[in-house]
A and B are shown apart, each in its own frame.
Chain A
Amino acid sequence: MTESLSRNRPVLVASSVETLLLIGAFIAGTSTLLNDQFPLTQTWMGALLSSHLSLAILSGLGAVLLFALTYLSERRDLFYLGLATVLAVGIAAAGGLAFYSTYNYDFSYLMALSFVVAIIPASGCLALSI
Chain B
Amino acid sequence: MSRSVLDMYERVNSMMSRNDYTPGIATLELASLLFTYIAGMGIAVYKLPLLGIPITIHIYAAAADVVLAIFLYGSSTRSGNNVLRIVSILDIVSVLGAAFSGLFYFGGFVVPIYALGMGTGFVLGIAFTSFLLFYSIRK
Number of B residues contacting the other chain (C-beta, 8 Å)? 27
Task: Report B-chain residues with C-beta under 8 Å of the C-beta of A27.
Answer: 116, 119-120, 123
Task: Report B-chain residues with C-beta under 8 Å of the C-beta of A113.
Answer: 37-38, 41
With A123-B130, A127-B130, A127-B134 as given contacts, are A33 and B37 in contact (CB-CB < 8 Å)?
no
B135 contacts the other chain (CB 8 A)? yes
B34 contacts the other chain (CB 8 A)? yes
Q: Check B42 against A109 for contact (C-beta < 8 Å).
A: yes
Which listed residue (A26, A112, A126, A130) contacts B45, Cβ 8 A? A112
With A105-B45, A108-B45 as given contacts, are A120 and B126 in contact (CB-CB < 8 Å)?
yes
With A27-B116, A127-B135, A127-B138 as given contacts, are A109 and B41 in contact (CB-CB < 8 Å)?
yes
Per DSSP, are chain A's interface residues mostly helix, strand or loop, or mixed?
Answer: helix
A23 contacts the other chain (CB 8 A)? yes
Task: Report A-chain residues with C-beta under 8 Å of the C-beta of B128.
Answer: 123
Which listed residue (A23, A34, A81, A127) contacts B124, Cβ 8 A? A23
Task: Report B-chain residues with C-beta under 8 Å of the C-beta of A116.
Answer: 34, 37, 126
Per DSSP, are chain B's interface residues mostly helix, strand or loop, or mixed?
Answer: helix
**Distance A121 CA – B130 CA, assembled complex (angstroms):** 8
Task: Report B-chain residues with C-beta under 8 Å of the C-beta of A31.
Answer: 112, 116
Q: How many A-B residue pairs have CB under 8 A?
A: 75
Which listed residue (B45, B119, B134) contacts A124, Cβ 8 A? B134
Q: How far is the CB of A23 from chain B (nearest CB, A)?
A: 5
Task: Report A-chain residues with C-beta under 8 Å of the C-beta of B83.
Answer: 130
Q: Check B116 against A119 for contact (C-beta < 8 Å).
A: no
Q: List 15 A-B contacts (CB under 8 A).
A: A23-B124, A27-B120, A119-B127, A120-B130, A122-B130, A123-B127, A123-B128, A123-B130, A124-B130, A124-B131, A124-B133, A126-B131, A127-B130, A128-B134, A128-B138
Which residues in B have some Cβ–Cβ distance to A below 8 Å? 30, 34, 37-38, 41-42, 44-46, 83, 112, 115-116, 119-120, 123-124, 126-128, 130-135, 138
Given contacts A26-B123, A109-B41, A120-B130, 5 further A-B contacts (CB under 8 A): A34-B116, A113-B37, A124-B133, A124-B134, A127-B133
Which residues in A have some Cβ–Cβ distance to B below 8 Å? 6, 19, 23, 26-27, 30-31, 33-35, 81, 105, 108-109, 112-113, 116, 119-124, 126-128, 130
